Amino acid sequence: MIFFDRVSKVYPDDSVALSDITITIEPKEFVSIVGPSGAGKTTLLKMLLAEEYPTEGEVFYESKNVHDLSKKDLNELRRKIGMVFQDFRLIPGKTVYENIAFTMEAAGRSDAEIEQDVPHVLELVDLASKVWNFPHELSGGEKQRVAIARALVNQPDVLVADEPTGNLDPVNTYDIVQILKKINDFGTTVILTTHNKGIIDSLGKRVIAMDKGKVVRDDKEGKYFI
């Protein structure tokens, strides 16, 4: 379980990014976080990964305060939370296979595991045919599917997708959302930030709406109407 307990964040330049946020996210939930630019969505995600420290309040992952973890436990936490970004963040000089293998090597996985799991995870995102291509040979939608495969290959408990469809056309956006739903159906918690009203309305899942650092709405089967 993820628990934000009265979390506030004021950056050194006095920007108030989060203001007294209390939310709970249960295992296997699919949660969308919406809100205008500057609402605090990215800061919230950074807090979960302990990339930023709260000014007040505490953030818990499975009952442990993420800001009190040892370096080893923090690395472990970050392996449990797969990340996907709007700009894909693939390594340009590596093939699709190598991009995914690299993440597995960093997690200490064996060559045999890598050879077995990379094709498997590419099947999951329907991209097995592109295993030897480089990122510049892929469409935006395909790049994002590689990024999702990479985020999943170490079997995280949670997948965090920060505006994953921000650079994609409607058809690719639809495909990415279907993949996220499938991943969630398999039991992975999904946390999605998006500006895309269509996605939220079609998902029919929990929506947390933020504005100016505050949660202004938290609906179990929300629609986007901020």
The residues of the shown chain that bind ligand ADP, judged by CB under 6 A, are 11, 13, 15, 17, 35, 37-43
* Nearest approach, Cβ of residue 11 and ligand ADP (Å): 3
SS3 226: coil
Least distance between ligand ADP and beta carbon 135 (Å): 25
- Whichever of 39 and 50 has its CB closer to ligand ADP, that residue is 39
- DSSP assignment of 191-210 equals EEE---HHHHHHH-SEEEEE
Nearer to ligand ADP, 41 or 150 (CB): 41
Q: Which residues contact 9 (CB under 8 A, 6 or more apart)?
A: 16, 17, 18, 40, 43, 47, 52, 54, 55, 213
Maximum C-alpha span of the chain = 50
Of residues 8 and 133, the one with the C-beta less far from ligand ADP: 8
Identity of the residue, 11 or 225, whose beta carbon is nearer to ligand ADP in the bound complex = 11
Strands 189-193 and 30-34: parallel
Q: In what order do the strands lie in the sheet with 56-61?
A: 16-25, 2-10, 56-61, 64-65
Strand 158-162 and strand 81-85: the pairing is parallel
User: How is residue 137 written in tokens?
Assistant: 């040979």
In whole angstroms, the minimum distance from the beta carbon of 56 to ligand ADP comes to 15
Measured from the CB of residue 44, what is the shortest distance to ligand ADP in angstroms?
7
Nearer to ligand ADP, 181 or 214 (CB): 214
CB of 59 to ligand ADP, least distance (A): 14
